[in-house]
Structure 1
Amino acid sequence: MTESRPARSDWLTLPNAITVARLLIVVPIGILLLHDEAPVWTAVLVALFGMSDWVDGFIARRLGQTSRVGELIDPIADRIGVVAIAVLLVISGHLPLWIALLIAGTDVLLFVFWLFHRNAKIPPVTMVGKVRTAAIMFGLALIVVGRIPESDVLMFIGVVLTGIGAVLHVLTGFGYARAILRSGPGA
């Protein structure tokens, strides 16, 4: 006799819950950055934000819980979170405006480009894309850690690393735009 189990929703997975939590954690990060308070707690939250990006993917693959929903919400959570943290660091005077503009501008242009080619496949993540994400997330974390008294040098390193990541982000954006064009509608 075979026991029937109710079908699990494609979106109701542990990795997707981690992705949603990653997006929600941006709210307390934003509050702490805007009020320039609790630099240690802010650094811990930003580190959790960055690490959760790796953790959700690892768990999804390990537990066989990859899903179409996860493929869509994971990069959206990353982009919204990274742009929000970058903008908040610009507002608080810890990140140059040009870096945030490169990151946000590339994301906006790529989103608009995708809207016009909506039926095209979303391109897979490239190695440059992974390096870019790591550079930006680690750089932002170092900037936030650099707000802790006597950690100024880490802020400088974080700004340089985030700047490098932003330039890689533009290059990656061009690559993704080309891949969207090549995949064509519904390809």
Structure 2
Amino acid sequence: MTSTPPQGPLRVVTLPNVVSFARLAILLPLSMWLLLTDRWWWALGALAVLGWTDWLDGFLARRLHQQSLFGARLDPVADRISVVGVSIALAAQNVVPWWALAVIAVVDLTLLCLAAAWFRGSPDLPVSRIGKWRTAALFLALPLLIVAAGLDSAWLRWVGLGMLAIGVLGHIVAGIGYMRGMARKRRAR
């Protein structure tokens, strides 16, 4: 008797999930290597593709009707790992201040610990609007800072740092929102 692969929300191997995985396995390490070796313009191109694939996986999931629980969990994790990985490379190059990376890491680790302690995994919370805006601000700040480094432009660096500060503040606000959502969900159990 042959078994058929799971369909719908239980499917793991879908085109959108392959795109998300490729983002983590290929594009992120390539982007980090380019940043760490001062190849600013190539890194900017790789990051543009990295950002585009973030949009592409969601578009493909909706268009091809391949939404899945695995994909819904993989996409935000891939976003977070991408932001942290690129930020580490930029901090190592003194383009991004270490404090920004530390704040993002503390918020993420706090959420991870709460999810593990209270839910033994993902609490299955939807992505908040502030969470989406935060990601957009960070995804805008990082390329601005790369262009500023490539052009050696002080004013553009300040614009990028301002956008980064907005993204970090949004990360804190979104994190508090997710903590509250987890607490409500835990009480409802």
Q: What CA deviation, in whole Å up to 9, does each residue of 1:74-124 have, x standing for no partner?
A: 111111111111121111010111111111111111111111112573210
Asked whether the equivalents of residues 40 and 145 of structure 1 are also in contact (C-alpha less than 8 Å), the reply is: yes
1:69 matched residue in structure 2: 70
2:12 matched residue in structure 1: 11
1:174 matched residue in structure 2: 176
Q: Secondary structure at the match of 2:66?
A: coil
Q: What CA deviation, in whole Å up to 9, does each residue of 1:132-184 have, x standing for no partner?
A: 01001111121122222355543332221111101110110010011111112
**Separation of aligned partners in 2, 1:98 and 1:123:** 27
What is the one-letter code of the residue matched to 1:86? S
Structure 1 gaps, min length 5: none
**Separation of aligned partners in 1, 2:89 and 2:77:** 18
**Structure having the larger proportion of residues in helix:** 2
Asked whether the equivalents of residues 139 and 161 of structure 1 are also in contact (C-alpha less than 8 Å), the reply is: yes
1:155 matched residue in structure 2: 157
1:94-113 residue pairs with structure 2 within 5 A? 94-113=95-114
Could you tell me how far 1:13 is from its partner in structure 2? 0.8
Alpha carbons of structure 1 residues 67 and 160: separation in structure 2 relative to 1, 3 Å: same
2:49 matched residue in structure 1: 48
Asked whether the equivalents of residues 115 and 123 of structure 2 are also in contact (C-alpha less than 8 Å), the reply is: no
**Separation of aligned partners in 1, 2:152 and 2:84:** 27
Could you tell me how far 1:6 is from its partner in structure 2? 4.2
Q: What CA deviation, in whole Å up to 9, does each residue of 1:2-46 have, x standing for no partner?
A: xxx94356111111111111112111111122222x211100111
- Aligned CA RMSD, in angstroms, stands at 2.0
**Separation of aligned partners in 1, 2:144 and 2:117:** 36
The percent identity for this pair of structures is 35
- Could you tell me the TM-score, scaled by structure 1's length? 0.89
2:59 matched residue in structure 1: 58
**Separation of aligned partners in 2, 1:47 and 1:165:** 18
What is the one-letter code of the residue matched to 1:156? W
